[in-house]
Every structure is written in structure tokens, then in C-alpha cells.
Amino acid sequence: DQHQISTIMSNTSWYRSVYWNMRGNKEYTKAGYEAAAVRFKPAEVDVDCTDRHVLITGGNKGLGLSTALSLARKGAVLHLVCRNMVDAKAARSKMITETGNDKVHLYHLDMSRPRDVMQFCGEFVTQQTQLHVLINNAGAMVHDRVLDDDGLEYNFTVNTLGTHLMTVGLMPLLLKSEDSRVINVSSAGMLQVRLDPKDLMFENMVPFSGNLAYSQTKRQQVVLTLCYAQMYAKVHFSSMHPGWADTLAVRTSLPEFYEMYKDKLRTPDQGADTIVWLAISRRAKTYNSGLFFQDREAVPTHLPLAWTKNTMNEEKIFLENLQAIVTRLQQPREEALSEVMQNGESNGVEHEEQVQREEVVVEQQQEGEQEDEQSDHKKEEDHKEEQADPKEQQRDHKEEEAHKDEEEHKDEQADHKEEQRDHKEEEAHKDEEEHKDEQADHK
């Protein structure tokens, strides 16, 4: 029943958290990377990337910057999509200075603005002739539930919707480029959650948790990666977990986590290693498309016995809901908002009707309960009366017996008095006769 399921899920959530932390301390830290790196083969990333076009979102900081630097050293043509152009220009100067590669192109784009993302993809596809690698690296973790003008939640918009729009929007270039690849930078945080295919805006997450919202969007990225692999056979798709890396995003979004693990965190280069490996190595292509990677190896997308596996139908529902959002964004904002309002009103009417139906059912139940109570009360009164009748009869019988005894006692007393009176009269008469006899004798 629901209580048992809730209990099981609660227990598995606790189990997932404990198991995840144990694994994290062993595998996701700097020590975990160093242990895994023993089996790495340097030749796998010793690749000439000249004329290979690579687009990286969030390529001006953290893992994105480390990835861009590594690929710049190998001669790649870089297209860096950045929100902060001051940091982006500084990153470009750093790359040119350190690598001597000046084929670094900057694009100003805020991934939290989906209409702008769609416009950017359209323009990029028109202006460019090829794209070999797309690295969806940009991410966000905000701890307040923030909605944009289209009613879209911030974490979802950047992490899930942004990844989807970039992937689908740039697909025309990827499909016509040789050895094309898409790498989605996810997180092992997704191992702690199960895909929720319906509540994409986290309306039902009360209280709202930025950590859980982030983990859910990272689970969505992994699901999308596998779906893309089934949809686009010509492109090789991968998702990956960089481990626990020391980046500005971690310091600002997870300050307590950072303080606890700061001495154990990986360097940005260590976190970016598998991204680079997936983007350029031949061995990465020997794996099936759509898999999830950690430290240059494909790993499971679920913890053992964690109850996080979703059904194919849930994936279908998730994709349908995601596509519905994309379709709405393709309309002018006024029409889209009007449609949202209509859907909201429709949902509100349906909700109100449902509430009314539930109220009727409740009233009927209450009336039935009242009738039952009245019936039970009547039965109880009848039972009391039935119990009272024998008692009344017993009481009447006792009174009758007492009255009878009293009458008999009175009769006995009267008879006794009568006997006493007769006896006195007889004694008196006897005394009188004896007195007369004495007088006669005396005379």
C-alpha cells in the first residue's frame, strides 16, 4: 500500500545518501582520480584536433575553461558560449597566451534565456559549415525557486532546457560533420534521485531544495543523452560525471560542502579529463552511444538497490512535456503566456470540479455516518429498554413480594393480638367465676 511504498522510498533515500557519500569519498575525490589515472593511457588523448570545431557552453570558467585550454593546445577551433563577456575575454587571452592557438571565438549568450538560445542556434547553423563536438557544460544551482517571464524555473532552464535546445538546435551541423560527438556534463548527484517526468518546474517540491532540483536536472540530462543516442545514430552521445572538483561554482553554490571537502577536491583539470577524453579519443567511440562515464569508463546510471530506475513510459512523458515547453517557446511570448493562462484556468476549473465532487462524496459519507449513528443510537436505546424491562419486572415482583409479606405479617400480628385478647377475656372470665365461687363458699 501507499504507506509501505512511502516507507520503502524513505528508507532507500537514506540508503542512497549514505551509499553515495561512501562512494564519493572513495571515487569522486582527488584520491579517487589518482587511483583511476593509473590505468589511463596518455596516447588516447594525444590527438591532433586541427580543424576540429568544438563548441563549449560556459567555456570561460571552471571545467569549461580547463577543457577549452586542453583542446586549444591540440589545435581545435573553439567556439566559447559565455554569459559573462569580461571573464570570456580574459579566458580567450589566457588561451592564446598559453597555447598559441588564436582560433578561439566568443559568443555572448545567457543559457537561462531559452528564446535567446534558440535564436543563437539558428544563427550559428546559418553562419557555420561544420561542428564536430558540442560540450554542454554550462550549469546552474540556485537555492530559491526563481521563474522567468515564461514561467520556467531557473535550474531547469539552464541545465535541462538549455542542453536540449543547444543539442537539437545545432543538430543540422553535427549531422553533416565527420565523427561528431555530444558530451553532456552531468553530475553523480543525479544518482540520488529518480526521474520525475511531470513536475519539471518543481511546483510540488515543498520546501524547495536547490540541491534536489539540480540533481533532478542532472538526471534529466542523462535520460536525454540516451534518448538522443536512439534518435540520432550518426552522432555519438555521452554524459559524464567530473567528480568533486574545486571550481568557483562549487565554492559559491555549495559552501558547506566545499569547506568539508576542500582538501580532497579534484583540480579543474582532473575534473575535465574525461570531458576531453570523450571529445577526442578513439576509444571513447568504441563504447555504445548514450552511456554515462566517470574517469574514462562507462559506469551504471543507478546505485544498486536504490529504486531510481524509471520506466520507458516515464521517459516518454518527460520528453512530451519537454517538447510542449519548446513548442510554446516557438510562439510569441504573449501567445505562449495566454496559452499558459488558459491551461491554468482549465486546470483550475478541473481542480474546482474535482474538489466539488470530493465535497459531495464527503457530504454523502457524513450523512451516511449520521444515519448510522442515529441507527446505532436507536438500537442502543432499544437494548437499554430491553435490559430495563426484566429489571423493572424484578423490581415489581420484589415490591409485590414485600407487600405480600407485609400483609401477611400484619395478619399474623392481628391474629396474635386477637389470641391475646381472647386469652385475657378468658382469664378474666375464669377469675370472675373463681371469685364468685369463693364468695359463695364464704357465705
Active site residues: 214
For residues 443 and 441, give the distance between their C-alpha atoms in angstroms, rounded to a whole number: 5
Kindly state the cell numbers that stand for 372: 448510522
The vertex-347 CA angle with 345 and 352, nearest 5°, equals: 90
Q: How many of the other CB atoms lie within 10 Å of CB of 39?
A: 9
User: 391: how many CB neighbours lie within 10 A of its CB?
Assistant: 9
From residue 376, give the alpha-carbon distance in Å to each of 79, 362, 365, 373, 406: 80, 20, 16, 5, 44
**What CA–CA distance (Å, rounded) separates 200 from 210?**
13
Rounded-to-integer distance, Cα 325 and Cα 157, Å = 10
Phi, psi of 135 (to 5 degrees): -115, 105
Distance of CA 145 to the CA centre of its chain: 15
- Cα distance between residue 323 and residue 164, in whole Å: 10
Of the candidates 183, 184, 140, 133, the one whose C-alpha atom is nearest the C-alpha of residue 159 is: 140
Phi, psi of 364 (to 5 degrees): -60, -40
Q: Identify which of 285, 88, 106, 321 has the alpha carbon closest to the alpha carbon of residue 182.
A: 285
Instruction: List Cβ neighbours of 278 (8 Å cut-off, separation of 6 or more).
Output: 181, 183, 238, 240, 284, 293
